[in-house]
Amino acid sequence: MSGDPVAVRFEHVWKSFGSLTVLRDVSFEVPAGAGFCILGRSGTGKSVTVKQMIGLIQPDRGRILIGGEDIVGLDAEGLARVRMRMGFLFQYSALFDSLTVGENVAFPLRRHSRFGEDEIRERVRGKLERVGLAGIEEKLPSEISGGMRKRVGLARALALEPPLLLADEPSSGLDPVTAREIDELLLDLKLKEGTTLVVVTHNIPSARRIGDELALLHQGRLLARGTPAELEQSEHEMVREFMKAEGGV
């Protein structure tokens, strides 16, 4: 991943589940250090697209390159190596319910780093503080709100300070102020640390803020791709309409 000018590249990716074809010949690339937002209506394959980037779902056809390396068909060891350089925030947070918040955030550090306990504790404290949740290490996921769980998921995704962060609807279900704070945090990572962001969002104002480039999925195809200004002037009326929506599409 390091040094490659392209963080993520999809080449002619197809994916079906049974008779349902979700992605049809999807190709795009995410430049290293860019903010890339994936938009589209519910059920168009946004989550499937990002899950393929971490090898949780395999495409039927096509290549998926992460930092220049094709991850399709990689074995567990190869995937683990690639995942060490990626943070992933799942759409539904996916915290481990039986682990405390602190243990959740520490999980990737224990698994993939050689940090000692003191270092892990310090890193966990710092990441929770970064998402505005200082001091809740001892709580269980069931004891905090949905929005807080989402932010804990983000802290966990940031634990290894990955050069590539994938976030599936990081601000959905959050109040507007917190959602805005998450946007600011993501922007900060991109601008100050050069983190590449791939963000699935339904929120157009948020996509405008974070996204250098937006990609709109529609019925399994990449209908449009470009800067927010380019999409606003798209030849497709649907794309223009989509860009006018203020969220919740």
| Contacts with Mg ion, residue ranges (CB under 5 A) | 46-47, 91
Q: Residues 62-91: x/- map of binding to ligand ATP (CB under 6 A)?
A: -----------------------------x
196 in helix, strand or coil? strand
| Residue closer to Mg ion, measured from CB, 47 or 196 | 47
Cα 240 to chain centroid distance, Å, stands at 24
Q: Supply the minimum distance, in Å, between the C-beta of residue 221 and ligand ATP.
A: 13
CA–CA gap between residue 249 and residue 234 (Å, rounded): 18
Of 163, 156, 149, which Cα lies nearest the Cα of 124? 156
48 binds, among Mg ion, ligand ATP, none (CB under 5 to 8 A by kind): ligand ATP
| Contact flag: residue 96 with ligand ATP (CB under 6 A) | no
Candidate ranges 14-22, 99-107, 109-117, 150-158; the one touching ligand ATP (CB under 6 A): 14-22
Long-range Cβ contact pairs of 76-80 (< 8 A, separation 24 or more): 79/54, 79/55, 80/112
List 5, 43, 73, 194, residue binding ligand ATP (CB under 6 A): 43
Number of other CB atoms surrounding residue 37 within 10 Å:
25
| Contact flag: residue 149 with ligand ATP (CB under 6 A) | no
| Contact flag: residue 17 with ligand ATP (CB under 6 A) | yes
CA–CA gap between residue 194 and residue 33 (Å, rounded): 5
| Contact flag: residue 40 with ligand ATP (CB under 6 A) | yes
